[in-house]
Structure 1
Amino acid sequence: MASRCVLQIALLLSFTTSLSLSYNLLQLQQQQHSSTLACLELLKQMKGKPDYCLKDRMDFRFPEEIKQPQQFQKEKAALVIHEMLQNIFGIFRKNVPNTMWNETIVENLLVELHQQMGHLKSAILQEVLEGKTLTAEDTTAILRLKSYYWRIRRYLNAKRNSICAWTVVRVELLRNFSLIDRLTDCF
């Protein structure tokens, strides 16, 4: 009789823990979706001159393995999203005075990106505490992602942060946020 009670208590505790983790992931996913939408809206407010800048278009070669969100487990998706947000944050933070856009919009975007990264850090930390590690493929994907953002920064520097360069980068980053939204579904 006592062993049956212990078993029931154990099952109840594991069920409660499972529900708690599922709720936390759902809450994180909802926060990510709303934050991603907010970033998309802020980027859309930053209008450029797309027709005028067609000659400046560039293929920054986004890593193919990251374009397939269904391949990622939730912890890998969180890590990839965090890396993307961190690099986008770095692009804007370093070049805010050089952009043609309203500084208030850019500052709001930076605040939103910072909040998103904070939410993701807790999810990533939880995965690390559970002992999940990166594979060689994961590390390679992250390195390719860093190279992609390095190409964007190099492009902006080469074009001396021109209006057209920022217009091209803005369109590229809009694509990034669409992908971030798809990756968020992996949670």
Structure 2
Amino acid sequence: MMGRCTLHIALLVCFSTSALAVSYKLLGFQLRSSSLECQELLLKLNGTSKYCLKDRMNFEIPEEITKSQPFQKEEAILVILEIFQKIFDIFSRNISSTGWNETTVENLLATLHWQKEHLETILEEIMEEENFTWDNATLLHLKKYYLRIVRYLKAKEYSTCAWTVVQAEVLRDFFFLDRLINFLQN
């Protein structure tokens, strides 16, 4: 009797966890919290400098992201995951010339990594449950956008000003990311 009751409870917990994982409102709340934490950590890096204005560049974020193009919720999750992944990849690079607090950068990377893994798990669940397909053009445009940022950093030899410009660009990305997160909650 006790074993059967334990099995029922275990199954209930398992199914409720899966149901909660795909609850878009809950996911939106988690993403919003994570996004705010990342933004606060980016601001703590103190990378803004008026001396770096000459190094500014338009990296041309894809129009699909800047315009409030209606995505399916699954597509929005995929785009959000890609943004978190690319930001993680960028800040995993050579930041030694920045003078940034390493603990702050590590906390930023940890937050991005956790969110990335969480989204990957949810996306796997969605793909198992649904027949989800979509045009990869948006992801391709996003990859090219972040590649331009990486090339810029390399061309500027990871200078402090280059990192300041990239930090400002990534903070701008979080504005668009927040719009995608809002879409999930509607």
Q: Which residue of 2 aligns with 1:111?
A: 110
Structure 1 gaps, min length 5: 1-16
Is residue 59 from structure 1 mapped to residue 52 from structure 2 by the alignment?
A: no
CA distance in 2, matches of 1:50, 1:98: 15
Q: TM-score if structure 1 supplies the norm length?
A: 0.83
Q: Secondary structure at the match of 1:161?
A: coil
CA distance in 2, matches of 1:167, 1:159: 11
Per-residue deviation, 1:29? 1.2
Q: Which residue of 2 aligns with 1:176?
A: 173
Asked if the contact 1:53–1:167 (Cα under 8 Å) also holds between the matched residues in 2, the reply is yes
CA distance in 2, matches of 1:85, 1:66: 14
Is residue 68 from structure 1 mapped to residue 71 from structure 2 by the alignment?
A: no
Give aligned pairs, total: 168
Q: Which residue of 2 aligns with 1:6?
A: none
Q: Secondary structure at the match of 1:94?
A: coil
Per-residue deviation, 1:69? 3.8
Deviations 1:135-168 (A, max 9, x none): 23xx011001000000000000000111110110
Per-residue deviation, 1:118? 1.7
Letter in 2 for 1:104: T
Asked if the contact 1:63–1:141 (Cα under 8 Å) also holds between the matched residues in 2, the reply is yes
Q: Which residue of 1 aligns with 2:142?
A: 145
Asked if the contact 2:92–2:109 (Cα under 8 Å) also holds between the matched residues in 1, the reply is yes
CA distance in 2, matches of 1:172, 1:92: 12
Q: Which residue of 1 aligns with 2:90?
A: 91
CA distance in 2, matches of 1:23, 1:125: 10
Per-residue deviation, 1:68? 2.8
Q: Secondary structure at the match of 2:107?
A: helix
Letter in 1 for 2:151: R
Q: Which residue of 1 aligns with 2:7?
A: none
Asked if the contact 2:97–2:158 (Cα under 8 Å) also holds between the matched residues in 1, the reply is yes
Is residue 162 from structure 1 mapped to residue 166 from structure 2 by the alignment?
A: no
Q: CA RMSD in A?
A: 2.0
Q: Secondary structure at the match of 1:47?
A: coil
Deviations 1:8-54 (A, max 9, x none): xxxxxxxxx9xx46973222111100000000000011112431011
Structure 2 gaps, min length 5: 1-15
Q: Which residue of 1 aligns with 2:39?
A: 40
Larger Rg: 1
